[in-house]
Structure 1
Amino acid sequence: MPPGSVAGLLLAAGGSRRLGEPKQLLVDETGVPAVVRMARALRDAGCAPLLVVVGAAAEAVTRSLAHESVHVVRHAEWAHGMGSSIGAGMRALIDLTASTDDVQGVLIAPCDMPAVTAPFLVALRSHFTGTERVAAAYVAGASMPAASAAATTAPARGIPAILPRADWPWLKMLSGEQGAKPLLQQDTIAVPLGDGAFDLDTPADVARWRQTQGLGGRSANT
């Protein structure tokens, strides 16, 4: 692998309590589930190996990934929070790459941010040479694309983000709600994501997203 090569870690274990159905399985205008769309985006950005952490709706999410080249990490304690999922995924990644030092970073991504695309992930990778942290910068708290464009809040740094191998021992110890943000607030290259703060947390979020796609009242998982 070339210098600056990165693994992909896709977080797809959440319970989607506010949405009421698995957000991992929400389909876009082409009928592709969110978890598959993001797995393909990570693959197209050159991330390898690619791990997907599953928890809630694990069987259905795993089935949706049946034709994708991914390592599925089943996380029984997914309800403990995003940090717990990162920790589980990182422990699996460390085991998977124990015999090589070719993989110099990990790109951690969620599956519920429609603004995150393969070209944006490629942009993140273009800033990574092996030692620095690189993170998306977006307006925290924006509830929809139009709102984020007009917001004046200072951009926050968060996932998707690339963290170098030196950070992996810290990441593998995560066990609760807190994710990688403490690391990303220091010595991090920020790459603007625009509407990245828009995620699919509630039925209203999904309805607005479907309007932008022209899906109207189409069922989430059909």
Structure 2
Amino acid sequence: MSIAGVLLAAGGSRRLGSPKQLLKTYGVTLVEHAARQLLDAGCSPVLVVVGAHADEIRDAVSMLSVTCVENVRWERGMGTSIAAAVTALNDVRFAHTSAVLITTCDMPTVTVEHLQSLLAMSQQGTQRVASEYPGPDGGPVRGIPATLPRVDWPALAALDGDLGARALLRDSGTLTVSLPSGHFDLDTPSDVAAWRTTGGSSPM
């Protein structure tokens, strides 16, 4: 059995004004960097969900052993991308997968080591494990990257809108791995500017 990796890369980046997936870090696009992290962590297969700017994002990961899944409903929100990925994973080709590790490309502080910690705590994909980080009010929040076992897939396949897997991850049975900077993502030009001051981004 293996754990599949799912990279959510279908968003339109409306607040940023340009595709965040194609921003550069260490000389490669964010979408390539995040897909490589899933591969390096040991996920198999790795699915990249595309929607807005689909052709450009496919090109950005074309050198990797990943499968692109198109979400034609991407404008409805993250939940539809998770549903599209899980629906694709229900194909008989992927019957050997015991769980899915879901991540996105706009969380630049996520590391391969963090993904490996999620996989290790999942006990070969049998346990649900979320990242935990400070929320806006300072209290703990559970979110992605997260590993969800196959038993959760029917609920994931039914997701719609922008809530994602939040309800499942809030369940008391969900284990957690700390990601202190997980609240920081690249949604706006000011986010990107703050990220660049840390040396995380090379010029576009």
Tell me the TM-score range normalised by the shorter chain.
over 0.9
Q: CA deviation at 1:194?
A: 1.0
Equivalent of 2:117 in 115, 123, 134? 123
Task: Name the structure with the higher strand share.
Answer: 2
Tell me the equivalent position of 2:149: 164
1:128–1:134 CA contact under 8 A, matched in 2: yes
The 2-side partners of 1:176 and 1:93 are apart by 20
Q: Over alpha carbons, which structure has the higher Rg?
A: 1
> Which structure 2 segments of 5+ residues have no match?
none
Please state if 1:177 is matched with 2:174: no
Measured after TM superposition, the shift of residue 96 of structure 1 is 5.1
For 1:73, the equivalent position in structure 2 comes to 69
1:23-53 deviation digits (Å, cap 9, x = unpaired): 000101x211011111000001100010000
Conservation of the 8 A alpha-carbon contact between 1:34 and 1:112: yes
Deviations 1:42-83 (A, max 9, x none): 001100010000001111111001101100001111000000
Root-mean-square deviation (Å): 1.5
Q: State the Cα distance separating 1:131 from its structure 2 match.
A: 2.0
SS in 2 for 1:213: coil
Where do 4+ consecutive residues of structure 1 move more than 3 Å?
Answer: none
Secondary structure, in 3 states, of the residue corresponding to 1:170?
Answer: helix
Residues 189-208 of structure 1: per-residue CA shift (max 9 Å, x gap) = 11000111100000000001
Tell me the TM-score normalized by structure 2. Answer: 0.95
Aligned length: 202
* CA–CA separation in structure 2 for the residues paired with 1:169 and 1:215: 38
Counterparts in 2 of 1:204 and 1:95: CA distance versus 1, 3 Å: same
2:11 counterpart letter in structure 1: G
Q: Distance in 2 between matches of 1:165 and 1:17?
A: 32
Taking only the aligned residue pairs, the percentage that are identical comes to 51
1:114: how far off?
0.7
CA offset at residue 173 of structure 1? 1.0
Give the letter for the 1:166 counterpart.
Answer: V
Shift in alpha-carbon separation, 1:214–1:133, aligned structure 2, 3 A: closer
Matches within 5 A, 1:34-183: 34-95=30-91, 97=93, 100=95, 102-129=96-123, 130-141=125-136, 153-183=138-168
The alpha-carbon deviation at position 93 of structure 1 amounts to 1.1
Q: Aligned in 2, Cα 1:174/1:214: closer, same or farther, shift over 3 Å?
A: closer
| 8 A contact 1:97–1:103 mirrored in 2 | no
Gap regions ≥5 residues in structure 1? 142-151
Cα displacement (A) at 1:10? 0.5
Alpha-carbon distance between aligned partners in 2 of 1:93 and 1:15, rounded to the nearest angstrom = 24
Which residue identity is paired with 1:174? L
Corresponding residue to 1:23 among 10, 20, 26: 20
Structure 1 length as normaliser, TM-score?
0.87
Q: Deviations over 1:152-202 (max 9, x none)?
A: 712100110000000011111112112101001111111000111100000
Q: How much does 1:215 deviate?
A: 5.3
Cα distance, 1:197–1:45 mapped onto 2, change above 3 Å: same
